[in-house]
Structure 1
Amino acid sequence: MTEAAPTTRKAFCADCGGVRNCDVRAHHQNYGDEGDGYIQWWVNWYVLECRGCEYTFVQKCSTNSEDLRQFYNEAGEPDSELIETLSYWPAPSKRPKPEWLGDFGVHIGDADKLEQAIEEVYGALDAGLPILAAIGMRTCFDVAAVLLGVDDDLPFAKKLDELVLLQKIGGVDKDRLALLVDAGSASVHRGWKPKPKELDTLAEILEHFVFEAFVAPSRRSRLDADAKKLEGKVPSRKSKKVKGNTRGP
């Protein structure tokens, strides 16, 4: 049985980053039954607009007559409600992108290649594709190493050594990045599927490397330039004049 769609609905807004009241801009329902009508199911599609930020997105709500949550209502009587399975498009980010993404490569040639590679890693994370995400992180390291002046034809181990020699990374960074590379290689050659916590660790290694190698130097350079412009605009401290002794000896 099709019910009239509500005019408002609570939903997770990926732009705000929380559950918000949303206006229902469009609604479509599929429904049916299985087992000679023993089990009924419903799939509701909502086009929603967040009342907080006006972000528009799609929510899919799936229910069936067998998935019930049992509870006692306010009158103390046994009651039940259908359990909803929710999904969204675009999918909410499983890991927030760094705030510096898009800003780190202003003074670096071909930085858009690294930015695109990182964007695709986060796309794979959001889509629940851990193998592709791990492979993509290894690719990000490869692209970044070349941007930092390392020969593209060198194997990964040699690239790490060169980055240390060029003083782009330290010994601890090298060990962490070696783990990142090994993880990506395991996904490429052996189909290794990292777990969510393992993916978070790999992403943190990548983010730290890119920030220290590209973002921090760029921000220091920009801050030095701004500080230089400020020189001469700050009024200097005036020295106090010492009054002479007007009295005679």
Structure 2
Amino acid sequence: MANETIEKFFCNECKRHNRHFIRAEHKNEEHDYRSGTDLTSRYLIAECCGCEHVALIRKTHFSENVDQFQDPSTGAVYLEKLWDEEIYPPVTYRASPTWFDDLPDDTLRAISAEIYKSLQSGSYYLATFGSRTLIDRLIVLTVGDKGNFPRGLQALQDEGKLSLHEREILSPIVDAGNAAAHRGWAPTKEQIAVILDTVEGLIHRLLVLPKLAEELEEAVPSRNAGVKVVAGKPVVTVNDKIDAAPKHLRAIYDELSRMLRGLGDDVTVHPQKHYMAFRRNRNFASVQIYNQKRVVRVYLNLDPDTVELYPTMMRDVRQIGHFGTGDLEITIKSMEDLKKVSPMIIASFDAS
């Protein structure tokens, strides 16, 4: 409408300064009679003209906070009010990576989310210490708990997961985390960007890319007969993979699904991007299907130390990044395998 007020603000969704409709405004003025100064506050509800994202904006102006400039042709002096501006939710300093949701570890996702929240409030100290914690967690997930940080880094290098060049790059990042934790040091905005670029790059290479490559393998049509390929429809989600499964593998999945659903009236199914979550009070089985490998994998909430592991079928994944929840991984290739592990599936259900 022609009479709508429009002002320009930063949009958290568009990531740039955009024109905004002012949908509501409250103005407050305070006067200090002793000093003769004023404080003006404007509270705005603004809607981005582009993406329709809505934000609450507080603009404040102190009467003495002005800038002067002189017209060169007339010599007239003009005063311009300078306003301070706060946006809620706060302006996102650094967006989470596009692969953030593909992190195959709940703890890494939680730590990363806390880091991004701290950046919004300018808490670079917390973000630096959190980045050091991310490296700690990455070490545990890739080479196991080695007792201390230096041994963990050395294990990464010894197992070929970290080159000498990468370790040299990582060294100042580790030092920054130690300084934040023990000496109260906080980096600048530019320095925290370097820290996060380095840590995120390492996590992406060691944890995310291997899992995404496995998913890509499933999306590429096989030469073998029996895999259904629908033209123009990429196989990227667990539902896609179930629909494209070979007949015998689909039969195994259907029987497993029937078994899991039949454990109780309170069982619910929650499709995720990479797996099917079967839940009672919490997830008790996370199921994935791999058409190229001709296997179904299920992750159970069982302590692997309490289970007799079949080496060809089961794996302790407490220190291995994976999609879904559960510390015990079971690989099922046949109906006989499914019957063999059914007591463990029931035990996971009972524990949930």
Classify the TM-score, shorter chain.
0.7 to 0.9
Q: What per-residue deviation string (whole Å, max 9, x for no partner) do you get for residues 167-190 of structure 1?
A: 222112222333222211211111
Of 53, 61, 64, the residue aligned with 1:63 is 61
Question: What residue is the counterpart of 1:225 in the other structure?
Answer: 218
User: Does the 8 A contact of 1:150 with 1:163 survive in 2?
Assistant: no
The secondary structure found in structure 2 opposite 1:167 is coil
CA contact (8 A) 2:37 2:63 kept: yes
Aligned to 1:147, what secondary structure does the other structure show? Answer: helix
TM-aligned CA deviation for residue 115 of structure 1? 1.0
1:74–1:218 CA distance, 2 compared to 1 (3 A): farther
Deviation by residue 1:25-83 (Cα, 9 ceiling, x = unmatched): 22222221235252111111111111211111111111122111223469844322211
Report the Cα offset of residue 191 of structure 1.
Answer: 0.6
Partners of 2:56 and 2:144 in 1: CA distance:
44
Alpha carbons 1:25, 1:48 under 8 Å: kept: yes
Structure 1 residue ranges without an equivalent (≥5): 1-5, 106-110, 234-249
Structure 2 residue 9 is matched with structure 1 residue 18: no
Q: Which residue of 1 aligns with 2:114?
A: 120
The reply to whether residue 140 of structure 1 matches residue 134 of structure 2 is: yes
Match of 1:244 in 2: none
Give the RMSD, CA atoms, in angstroms: 2.4
For 1:2-46, what per-residue CA distance to the aligned partner results, in whole angstroms no more than 9, with x for missing partners? xxxx73322111111111121222222222123525211111111
State the AA in 2 paired with 1:92.
V
Please tell me whether residue 51 in structure 1 is matched to residue 49 in structure 2.
Answer: yes
Distance 2:124 2:71 in 1: 42
| Counterpart code for 1:17 | K
Distance verdict in 2 for CA 1:101–1:189, change over 3 Å: same
Counterpart of 2:97 in structure 1 is 98
Regions of 4+ moved over 4 Å: 72-76, 230-233
Q: One-letter code of the match for 2:109? A: E
Q: Which has the higher contact order (CA 8 A, sep 6+)?
A: 1
Structure 2 match to 1:207: 200
Alignment of 1:21-32 (within 5 A): 21-32=19-30
Per the alignment, residue 108 of structure 1 pairs with none
Give the drift of 1:155.
0.8
Residues 75 and 19 (structure 1), Cα distance of their counterparts in 2 relative to 1, 3 Å cut: farther
Correspondent of 2:34 among 32, 36, 50: 36
* Structure 2 residue identity aligned to 1:45: Y
Where 1:16 maps in the other structure, the secondary structure is coil
Q: Distance in 1 between matches of 2:71 and 2:8?
A: 21
Deviations 1:73-118 (Å, cap 9, x if unpaired)?
A: 698443222111111111111122211111232xxxxx01101111
- Looking at structure 2, the residues matched to 206 and 141 of structure 1 have their Cα atoms a distance apart, in angstroms, of 7
Does residue 81 (structure 1) correspond to residue 75 (structure 2)? The answer is: no
- Checking the alignment, whether the CA contact within 8 Å between 1:29 and 1:45 is kept in structure 2 is yes
The answer to which of 65-74 and 189-198 deviates more is 65-74
Amino acid at match of 1:90: P
Secondary structure (helix, strand or coil) at the match of 1:218 reads helix
Pair 57,74 (structure 1): closer, same or farther in 2 beyond 3 Å: farther
Which stretch of the first structure deviates more once superposed, 127-136 or 221-230?
A: 221-230
Aligned match for 2:181, one of 161, 185, 188: 188
CA separation in 2, counterparts of 1:192 and 1:161? 26
Q: CA deviation at 1:196?
A: 1.7
Unaligned stretches of 5+ residues in structure 2: 230-352
| TM-score with structure 1 setting the length | 0.81
Which residue identity is paired with 1:226? A
Identity of aligned residues (%): 26
